[in-house]
Amino acid sequence: MSRIRANKITNKLGTGAVQLEKGAEIPVGMGITGAGSINLSGIITAATINATTFQGIDSTALKDPAGNVKIQAQASGAVHTGIATFQDLDVDGHTNLDNVSISGVATVTGNLNVGGVLTYEDVTNVDSVGLITARNGISVTSGGITVLGGTITGTATTATTIDTTATSTDATMYMTFVDSQTTGRTLRTDAGVTYNPNSNSLTAGAFVGDGSGLTGLNVGLTTEALTTAGSTVTLDLTKDDHKITKSGTYTITCTGGTESESHTLRIVNSGTATVSFSDYFLFPSGGTPNLPTANGAISLISFTVHRAGAVGINTQLLAGASVNFS
C-alpha cells in the first residue's frame, strides 16, 4: 500500500483544494481536524457528528426527503405534522394536545382535566363536578343509580318497575296519580287526598259510589252530651243524637244542620228544671210542649231539619210531640 506524506496539499495551481473524485476513507479512530470549515453540497452520512455549531442548515425545521416540513420550531415550542410514534411519552407540566387518538389503553394515575367535551365509549368510574350529558341514554346493568342530593328531572319514557321503601311513620303522606291512560303520563299529587301509614287512614274530601263493596265500616249515629252552664244550651246539628243533663231555667237552640237530617233530643233533669225552645223549633199546631220540671224527669223529642239556616234565613226544625219517660 502506498502512502503520501505531506504537510499541506493544494490543487495543481496552488489556488484551492484538491478534488477527491473517488471520495475519501478515514480509518477507525482517525478524524478530520482543523480550525477551518468543511463545505459540502451533497449528503453527509455518519454514525455520529460532533460539532459546536452548524452553518447553512435550517435549524428551525425537520423535513422529509421530499422537503415537506414535519417538525417546525416556534417560540413556544415545536409543531409536529403527521404521525408521531412514541415508545414512551412522559410529560411533565402543562401540555396542550388538540387532537389525540389512542388505540390502546391510556392510564391516568392523577387528575385528568378536560375543558371541552370528553367523548368515550366505555369507562369504569366517572366523577364529575359539572353536568354529564348522555346523548344516547344511560344503561345501568347492575348497582342501580343513587342520587345523594339534588333532583332527577326529565321524562321517563318507560319504567317497568319502581321500587319504594315501606314506612309506618305517623305523618301525612300524599297520594300520587297519573294524568293519562296512554303513554307520556305525568305524576300528579292532590293535597286533598292524604294517607297516614301509622293509622292506615285515608282521608279525602268525598268518596263516590254506592259503597256496596266496602267492608269493615263503622257507620252509626254520632252523639253529644251537654251539661253546659248558663241559660242557653246550643245543639250541634252535625251530630245525630243530643243529650242534655241540666237543671235550672234554660233555652235550647242550635247551630249548623243539613236539610232532611233527623235528630233525637234527650233531656234529663239533674234538678228542678224549666226548659224552653228557640224560634228554630216548630211544634205541631204551634204549641210548645210543657216538659216535666221535677228532678230526674226524662223527656224525648225527635225533630227533622226542614231548612238549614243561612244569612238572613232562620233554621227551621220540625219537632214532634215530647214523650215523658219519668
pLDDT of 247 > 90? The answer is yes
- Give the whole-angstrom CA distance, residue 259 versus residue 304: 8
- What is the value of pTM for the model shown? 0.39
CA distance 26 to 48: 14
- Comparing CA positions, the residue from 292, 296, 255, 298 lying closest to residue 275 is 292
Q: For residue range 190-243, what is the model confidence (pLDDT) as tens digits?
A: 888 999 989 888 888 888 887 777 777 666 778 999 988 899 999 999 999 999
Same domain, 200 and 272: no
What's the structural domain count of the chain?
Answer: 2
Cα–Cα dist 85/105, whole Å? 15
Q: Measured between alpha carbons, how far is residue 88 from residues 84, 92, 97, 105, 201 in Å?
A: 11, 13, 16, 13, 71
Phi then psi dihedrals of residue 302, to 5 deg: -110, 140
C-alpha–C-alpha distance, residues 203 and 164, integer Å: 22
Evaluate if residue 276 carries a pLDDT over 70: yes
Residues 244, 303, single domain; the answer is yes
Q: Which of 205, 233, 252 is the last residue of a domain?
A: 205
- Return contacts of 228-237, CB within 8 angstroms, 24+ apart: 235/263, 235/265, 237/261, 237/263, 237/305
Taking only the tens place, the pLDDT of each residue in 84-127 is: 777 777 777 777 777 777 777 777 777 777 777 777 777 777 77
* Residue 267: CB atoms within 10 Å: 23
Residues 313 and 235 occupy one common structural domain: yes
Looking at the fold, whether 249 and 306 belong to one and the same domain comes out as yes
Residue 72 belongs to a domain: no
Distance between CA 233 and CA 226 in Å, rounded? 8
Q: What are phi and psi of 286, to 5 degrees?
A: 75, 10
138 in any annotated domain: no
Report the relative pairing of strands 281-282 and 298-307 from DSSP bridges. unpaired
**Has residue 20 been placed in a domain?**
no
198 and 246 inside one domain: no
The string of pLDDT tens digits covering residues 142-178 is 877 888 877 777 776 677 777 788 888 999 988 888 8
pLDDT at 312: 83
Asked if the structure places residue 282 within a domain, the reply is: yes
Are residue 245 and residue 299 in the same domain, yes or no? yes
Question: What range defines the domain where residue 284 resides?
Answer: 223-324
Do 319 and 247 share a domain, yes or no?
yes
- Indicate if 304 and 251 belong to the same structural domain: yes
* 3-state SS record for 232-278: EEEEECCCCEEEEEEEEEEEEEEECCCCCCEEEEEEEEEEEEEEEEC
Within a domain: residue 227? yes
Going by C-alpha positions, the residue among 245, 311, 304, 261 that lies closest to residue 280 is: 304
Rounded to 5 degrees, φ, ψ at 284 are: -55, 135
| Pairwise CA distance, residues 42 & 286, whole Å | 141
Task: Note whether residue 229 is domain-resident.
Answer: yes
Q: What is the dihedral of CA 145, 148, 149, 155, to 10 degrees?
A: 10
Same domain, 319 and 227: yes
Same domain, 195 and 238: no
User: What is the structure's pLDDT at 1?
Assistant: 62
Question: Which 3 state secondary structure label does DSSP give 202?
Answer: strand
Nearest-angstrom CA–CA distance, 207 and 205: 7
Q: With a cut of 80, say whether residue 308 has pLDDT above it.
A: yes
Residue 113 counted as domain residue: no
The answer to the question of residue 35 being in a domain is no
Are both 179 and 246 inside the same structural domain?
no
Cell numbers for 68? 415537506
Give the gyration radius of the chain's Cα atoms: 54
- Amino acid at the residue 176: T
Residue 291's pLDDT is 93
Helices H / strands E in the chain, number of each: 0, 14
Whether residue 254 is found in the same domain as residue 306: yes
